[in-house]
Structure 1
């Protein structure tokens, strides 16, 4: 008897079994898993509880903060503008946002923002988390800064400010905020229950995150001028803040998108499906190919993990992430374990969201087991 709800095509029963095992063992609290092929779900599962007290069942429409999976939605917004000829990856950011040229940033190109190679991976201190909720003011602060390393020479994960940078370009070009543009151009047309800026009307559907148990580590012992420390502490992210209405309502296009596996897979499957979904073409094949323009491959200065970035997405790097399939694949993950993977060769999108966070910034053992089961199945079926 399955413990998860939803549906699953018979050939994906092995994936469901792995999902159910994690609930049975207590590894999962609440979670959702969705896999699409040719844009259509072949597996759409959810289970467990939306709250730590285990009083609220995780429902079909439960939402959760997916952290950096939000970046893939922000990247799609930029790619839509590229496709329409309104944004050029190889133009200087200052062409669209003149103030950004200050302090040695005149030559930074749009592609550098989208690939975490701009040198502007966080805010100069002092800054508090609440300061970034006003996205225009926070973007204006970024425009005044000097880069923390030579732009274009390496990636330094733009952990918290990615959406402020890309979002300001969206605002300058369209006159709309990132959250509004995303709702108008992607979530709305696709019927996807995903939000960048989540209003109070959704509050009773949002699962409570359970922060990971982090090892006792004295950050003050590290070089306070390192890209790692400056990026990850400017500002410091407290998981407990994610329950506040102010956090939820802010349009933080790097880390505060709220959705579920179904809505993540729905939006992102337009990549795996060649740019066309629901009878409408969103992106040309040429625009999708831009995702695979490698911009960085090596030790990321902010995370100190070897990463490979294209335009807006991570690209496969088997030695670092063996469970991400090789080929024309683009992906990214959120703090605590959420993940989306687009496999263009097999026209598959994999999405996983949960509320019991794992310790890693990128991926988790649970996610790896679902990925392995999914792509093992796909290898047998196709």
Structure 2
């Protein structure tokens, strides 16, 4: 039975679908340590033969995956395998930028864009892209400024995971976090999991142009290379779904994301399984940088992998409207996963509905 206290959230979600502002999505909320909302609706593709959205439908959630990649590295920090203030080059020989692990995690390492233009097929070539980053000159002195490492974040974090642990970040996530906490999400999907994916679509045809920003700007360079990251033909292909592009290609259910944030909100324990120490969670969700973000072009407060908001909540939104966060003050974890690439107005309305219920 749905929790009647959250009827306004159900109504808001169904209105988004009924009015056509949403075509297919999932919404999950935990409150006071337990799941209270778990909704799916719409279809997984365009056309008359499209399947209905199911509880196990996966969708690409773009930057919502950045904290997930960060947590893989932070788990190794928690286990004493590396230190936050160690230089990256201590684990990654040949890495040129004088950045620390903390600076990589907090988007202050100065490497927000891949330096060598690459085609869409490069998303499947981990060593090529990691090698490009290793030899790159930083755009600013690491630690002195921030700029969302839009496409590069997953390779910076993921290569550190690989150098320290030996496994790819996708394999590490599956073995060490998603498995123990029973999270339905991942990088580098198997053919079976790819069959569960919803196809992304544009809310309007100009969406990719708006997302790139001014030609030649840092933002444009950050989100345009490798090519294809805003192109539906690439995004909905086996190439993209099977690759590990951890900054932007986590495929997830809202339920999986909400469970992750619920575990963090509880200090690193979910369903009796402790993965992180409370001290690590506190450090990971503390503001590390507060100031202008040179890619987002606005004030941003970065934690170790997430954005921190004025109300004390922390999490991450992704291009197109997917979102995941925890609100310690109000005591909830929230996740929204959508296939319709548009703005965040849908999430804002759902959050307002939720706050009206609490």
Q: What TM-score, normalized by structure 1, do the two folds share?
A: 0.88
Q: How does 1:1-382 map to 2 (within 5 A)?
A: 8-53=2-47, 55-100=50-95, 102=96, 105=97, 107-213=98-204, 214=206, 222=214, 224=216, 226-236=217-227, 237=229, 238-317=231-310, 326-327=311-312, 329-358=313-342, 360=343, 364-378=344-358
CA distance in 1, matches of 2:212, 2:31: 47
CA distance in 1, matches of 2:268, 2:214: 44
Q: Contact 1:273 / 1:347 at 8 angstroms: preserved in 2?
A: no
> After superposition, what is the alpha-carbon deviation per residue over 1:116-154, rounded to whole angstroms, capped at 9, x for unaligned?
111101111322232132212211110001001221122
CA distance in 1, matches of 2:176, 2:183: 11
> After superposition, what is the alpha-carbon deviation per residue over 1:64-123, rounded to whole angstroms, capped at 9, x for unaligned?
1111111121111122111111121111111111211x2xx1x31111111111110111
3-state secondary structure, aligned to 2:341:
coil
Unaligned runs of 5+ in 1: 1-6, 318-325
CA distance in 1, matches of 2:136, 2:87: 16
Unaligned runs of 5+ in 2: none
Give me the CA root mean square deviation: 2.0
Q: Contact 2:91 / 2:163 at 8 angstroms: preserved in 1?
A: yes
Q: CA deviation at 1:218?
A: 9.7
Q: CA deviation at 1:222?
A: 4.4
Q: CA deviation at 1:39?
A: 4.1
CA distance in 1, matches of 2:108, 2:345: 28
Q: Contact 1:34 / 1:41 at 8 angstroms: preserved in 2?
A: yes
Stretches of 4+ aligned residues off by more than 4 angstroms: 215-223
Q: CA deviation at 1:215?
A: 6.3
Q: CA deviation at 1:331?
A: 1.0
Q: What TM-score, normalized by structure 2, do the two folds share?
A: 0.93
CA distance in 2, matches of 1:217, 1:49: 25
3-state secondary structure, aligned to 1:14:
helix
Q: CA deviation at 1:216?
A: 9.3
3-state secondary structure, aligned to 2:145:
coil
Q: Contact 1:38 / 1:272 at 8 angstroms: preserved in 2?
A: no
CA distance in 1, matches of 2:266, 2:19: 35
3-state secondary structure, aligned to 1:299:
strand
Q: Contact 1:183 / 1:195 at 8 angstroms: preserved in 2?
A: yes
Deviation larger for 267-276 or 157-166:
267-276
Deviation larger for 270-279 or 211-220:
211-220
